[in-house]
Structure 1
Amino acid sequence: MEYKTKSLLEELNHVLDNSEKVIINPRREYTITKSIDRGEAIKTEHGCVATWSPDNSTGRSPADTYIVDSLEVHNTIDWKSKSNKPLSSDTFCRLYDNALEILSTKKEIYVTNRAIGADEGYALQVDTISSSPLVSLFTYNMFRDIPDGIEDSVFNGEFKIIVLPYDKIDSNKYPGLLNNNSSMVIATDFTKRVGIVIGSSYLGTVKKLAFTAMNFYLPHHNILPLHCSANVDDKGNVSIFLGLSGTGKTTLSTEPTRKLLGDDEHGWSDNGVYNFENGCYVKTLNLTEEREPEIYRALFEEKNHLKNGAILENTMVYPNGRVDLSDERLSVNGRASYPLNVLENAQSASKAGHPRTILFLTADACGVLPPISKLEIDQAKLWFLMGYTSKIPGTESGITEPIATFSRFFGEPFMPSRPSIYMKLLGDKMEKYNTNVYLLNTGWIGGVYGKGGERISLKYTRAMVRAANEGLLENVEFERENYFDLSIPKNCPGVPSQILNPVKSWEDKGAYEKEARKLADKFASHFKNDFGTHPIDKKIIAFCPGL
């Protein structure tokens, strides 16, 4: 793929050369001090800094997020996905000029030169240009130092992101071209390797824009990008965890006996698995030291704020600096950003070999999926494509009862290419490296959420993860389940055998069958609606429940 940036970069360099004060790679302490002095953040009693966003900016804004539809990318992007909103090159250039005009009015401009990717051969340099010192601090937390040897990377150049979090776009100047009910825009041109953020002060917008770019570029180099956490044991056995919010991805991958490669974004290349990030960006609502001791200590071990730099975002902090993580009045999507190196069990190299085990996590509120089941290659492609879990009350505003939700590849908004590209890479690598894939239900058993079902014990879930990671399920006897065609182990060390097959934990077997059929029908309906016109192999379709 050819990347074109020259003319746009010349315009940007002209603005930077003529601006009053451009600060390139400011010291971390400087970004903290400036963020506080400018009122973008305050100090907490523990030393991290806290910030807040307007109501329209406490999470991603899909309605304002666009991808440039150019000749070079048109046949690669899946324009059928609701997450991929096309934008013309002409409109992007107008937005770019608008962004430069805004930048030129700033007294200070902050530039950080960072990288995404712990494997220098597949690392992308990301230059972030912003009016906000807090954004610079965030890039220090989340993006990596530029590694030696990046000049030999497959990317051969950098990706630029212009971030103007507190400014607004006049959408009336773009009639019919942008969301005219909004003053926010997030636009990416993969061909020119430029991203623009105007009006979004949600820090995750910057992270996800950069990683969406990686998820688009890497398959061109035979690398499977994965929205996952990953860890490795002392023998080099790698395990990766894919799952949507609320499924336990962070909890299960933070394991004292294993080293954490990363929390959220990885690539699987011919060299093995490598972390994209430098840090973690985790949800904070109801975070406790008891449940998440490593994460809690990373945020709240008392230290001077200039030596800390962890960021709390949209969490309840009182004027005296006291933090209340149980209070959701500001947002149910409160977040924390901190560098990986503050975790005691982080793997410093952030890369390892090929995964022995992949775990697809789902928090099934219907109570009908097995706690653990083993997937065949084509079956794994199907569950990878579907990305199923349940949203339950408390996970998002407005959710009052469980809702089945599907997000392709466990990260639909950030996986822009055609589904067949990611599925093929998964299957090829599973086969080549003899990787086992398991579906792990961290949700409910014995009944539906709120109607007699109970969430499976974390103790048992950890035991199943341990068994999968150590190869203890590779030679046990399996039985086939009727509604989802899943292979269930008849026994698993440390787990009562009666809970392994979901129907056995339901007192009312007829109610179980009714709920199982309902969920299978939802799978079929979603597949038909979202992928019915995609050229998907019949062997994969055959594994879709309900079809």
Structure 2
Amino acid sequence: MRKSTNNLPDLSYLQLDQARTVFYQLNAAELVEAALKRNEGVLADTGALAIDTGEFTGRSPKDRFIVEDNITRDSVWWGKINIKFDADKFDALFEKVTAYLAGRDIFVRDSSACANEKYHIDIRVVTETAYQNLFVHHLFLRPEVADAASVPEWTIIAAPGFKADPEVDGTRQHNFSIINFSKKIILIGGTGYTGEIKKGIFSVLNFILPHEKKVLSMHCSANTGAKGDTAIFFGLSGTGKTTLSADPERNLIGDDEHGWSDYTIFNFEGGCYAKCIDLTAEKEPQIFNAIKFGSLLENINFIKGSRTVNFSNIDKTENTRVAYPLYNISNAVIPSIGDSPKNIFFLTADAFGILPPVSKLSAEQAMYHFISGYTAKVAGTEAGITEPKATFSACFGEAFLPLNPVAYAELLGNKIKKHQVKVWLINTGWTGGPYGTGKRMKLKYTRAMISAALNGELDNVKYREHPIFNLQMPISCPNVPDNLLDPRNTWTNADNYDERANNLAIAFIKNFEQYAPFCKADIINAAPNATVSV
């Protein structure tokens, strides 16, 4: 084994001491240089490294496994999200992956997760490619001085060139991401998509922190105001989570993964992994300006004959991405820690046009809507006719939750009550009717509602209750027309609204049936009212 630069860690515990060359703890410039020499990518005109992740341009949820053992057997919520993997099969696959990497160049990085030192975990990441290691440099926390002599708490091995044999190895197909809580190893193979690395450790934290530390792990963004008031934003893709949390008047704690301990919100990560589709300097200036030398662009296309990124081109995937360190954001909070939140925002892009643009939730309603994790997506047809589709993802991140979603919701409810947090449901979707009839809520109105909530301007206004969803709707909000605040008033046919609202309520109730057996009555009673026709 030949080392590159820096002191070399002992990799014998991973059976990787026979690697040809170990590139340890390279900085961003060195990793970009290595990636270019290895033909892993090219430079965009901004200086960012542009690479293609190959066959997979997104995560593969059906190929993500958790080893069943004494730690996980009675704790993990097994099913379609958390798929069991045999411990002996893991050991055999580990032997194959490490044998595959023997004699090859590997990139090793020591890093960590959790900005709050009390919950900090050390992570060693071994990657087959330089660009994956650059991603880790950006997304994980970067130690001032790496301790090569220490053995980290967790290890990730990512070998995109290794393909499993499903019949022999126990995988579904040739790619896999497997978490072993006993050995504290995440084994990734057959895919070059870097998001598998990021979400692998997020899944680990979603098990360790709530289960062992009673810290709520959250798939959310967070920012803080001039007075130190923290706000957190939950929302699925397309709801505006990144856009609305990137407020020039507030400082960014983080854009995706956070923990809530007794009195602090803290970022798990040291960087951002932002979507690039239709990115413009006008719409999202912070992200646009963060794309510079060292940043990692994934699966983008260039304007023909140039090295200028065409952010509207989605020929490879709609999931184009850029990874960059948090310090690329000018108003980032470093270290990325804030006080317990004063306000929580659940964002939904309700394409049915049913939910109010802003409403206040009780603690029980917050738990119910947190477990539901609702939004509605629009799917196009060949004829150009579209029909919204209700989408539910528990805790706004179901794919990364090893525990029953109710466990996270109960932690959330306890913290809301303890800290007297105000919780708001914000509909960034449609008003005046569903997609195709109504119109998308103007961003300036959504921003005004959030600002009013943050500034306390909605604390003393009068509210009316939504007759089906039982949500408290303000009758006025600064800089927002009063008639928009009750969605029923924006429809030309109120009876049609009532029918559609009832249908959406039925969808909520049906989705919640899988969680109801684990919930207390006060959460179940926070469900919307629905009339089921016989």
Partner of 1:464: 449
> Which amino acid is 1:178 matched to?
T
> How many Å apart are 1:244 and its aligned residue?
0.5
For residue 420 of structure 1, give the secondary structure of its aligned residue in structure 2: helix
Matched, 1:321 2:283: no
- The answer to whether the Cα contact below 8 Å between 1:523 and 1:546 also exists between their aligned partners in 2 is no
For residue 515 of structure 1, give the secondary structure of its aligned residue in structure 2: helix
Partner of 1:72: 71
CA distance in 2, matches of 1:544, 1:531: 12
> Which amino acid is 1:468 matched to?
A
CA distance in 1, matches of 2:263, 2:385: 42
> How many Å apart are 1:103 and its aligned residue?
1.4
For the aligned residue pairs, the C-alpha RMSD in angstroms reads: 2.0
- The answer to whether the Cα contact below 8 Å between 2:386 and 2:435 also exists between their aligned partners in 1 is no
Q: 1:248 aligns with which of 229, 240, 253?
A: 240
CA distance in 1, matches of 2:202, 2:417: 26
CA gap 1:11/1:284 in 2 versus in 1, 3 angstroms: closer
CA distance in 1, matches of 2:418, 2:10: 44
> Which amino acid is 1:243 matched to?
G
Partner of 1:455: 440
Q: Among the aligned pairs, what percent are the same residue?
A: 38
Matched, 1:518 2:503: yes
- The answer to whether the Cα contact below 8 Å between 1:120 and 1:148 also exists between their aligned partners in 2 is no
Q: 2:124 aligns with which of 100, 123, 127?
A: 127
Q: 2:196 aligns with which of 193, 197, 205?
A: 205
> How many Å apart are 1:448 and its aligned residue?
0.4
537-546 vs 425-434, greater mean Cα deviation = 537-546
Partner of 1:504: 489
Partner of 2:219: 227
CA distance in 2, matches of 1:480, 1:546: 12
CA distance in 2, matches of 1:262, 1:14: 32
Matches within 5 A, 1:266-415: 266-299=258-291, 308-317=293-302, 318=304, 320-393=306-379, 401-415=387-401
Unaligned runs of 5+ in 1: 1-8, 151-155, 301-307
Matched, 1:113 2:96: no
CA distance in 1, matches of 2:131, 2:63: 22
Partner of 1:145: 142
- The answer to whether the Cα contact below 8 Å between 1:212 and 1:414 also exists between their aligned partners in 2 is yes
CA distance in 1, matches of 2:387, 2:485: 26
138-147 vs 114-123, greater mean Cα deviation = 138-147
CA gap 1:456/1:489 in 2 versus in 1, 3 angstroms: same
- The answer to whether the Cα contact below 8 Å between 1:16 and 1:22 also exists between their aligned partners in 2 is no
CA gap 1:35/1:546 in 2 versus in 1, 3 angstroms: farther
> How many Å apart are 1:194 and its aligned residue?
0.7
Partner of 2:6: none
CA distance in 2, matches of 1:14, 1:508: 66
TM-score, normalising length: structure 1: 0.90
> Which amino acid is 2:175 matched to?
M
CA deviations on 1:27-71 (whole Å, 9 max, x unpaired) are: 22111111111121111111101111334x111101211011112
CA distance in 1, matches of 2:508, 2:496: 19
> How many Å apart are 1:14 and its aligned residue?
5.9
> How many Å apart are 1:268 and its aligned residue?
0.4
- The answer to whether the Cα contact below 8 Å between 1:15 and 1:103 also exists between their aligned partners in 2 is no
Q: 1:183 aligns with which of 165, 174, 180?
A: 174
CA distance in 2, matches of 1:47, 1:149: 27
CA gap 1:147/1:391 in 2 versus in 1, 3 angstroms: farther
Partner of 1:6: none
For residue 131 of structure 2, give the secondary structure of its aligned residue in structure 1: helix
CA deviations on 1:330-377 (whole Å, 9 max, x unpaired) are: 101111111111111111221011100000000000001000111111
Q: 1:83 aligns with which of 81, 84, 90?
A: 81
Q: 1:163 aligns with which of 158, 161, 169?
A: 158
For residue 431 of structure 1, give the secondary structure of its aligned residue in structure 2: helix
For residue 17 of structure 1, give the secondary structure of its aligned residue in structure 2: coil
CA distance in 2, matches of 1:319, 1:41: 17
CA distance in 2, matches of 1:401, 1:368: 14
CA gap 1:338/1:93 in 2 versus in 1, 3 angstroms: same
> Which amino acid is 1:44 matched to?
A
Runs of 4+ in 1 over 6 A off after TM superposition: 147-150
Q: 1:480 aligns with which of 465, 474, 479?
A: 465
> How many Å apart are 1:252 and its aligned residue?
0.4
- The answer to whether the Cα contact below 8 Å between 2:97 and 2:162 also exists between their aligned partners in 1 is no
- The answer to whether the Cα contact below 8 Å between 1:116 and 1:277 also exists between their aligned partners in 2 is yes
CA distance in 2, matches of 1:523, 1:345: 38
CA distance in 2, matches of 1:330, 1:30: 28
Partner of 2:475: 490
- The answer to whether the Cα contact below 8 Å between 2:18 and 2:103 also exists between their aligned partners in 1 is no
> Which amino acid is 1:123 matched to?
H
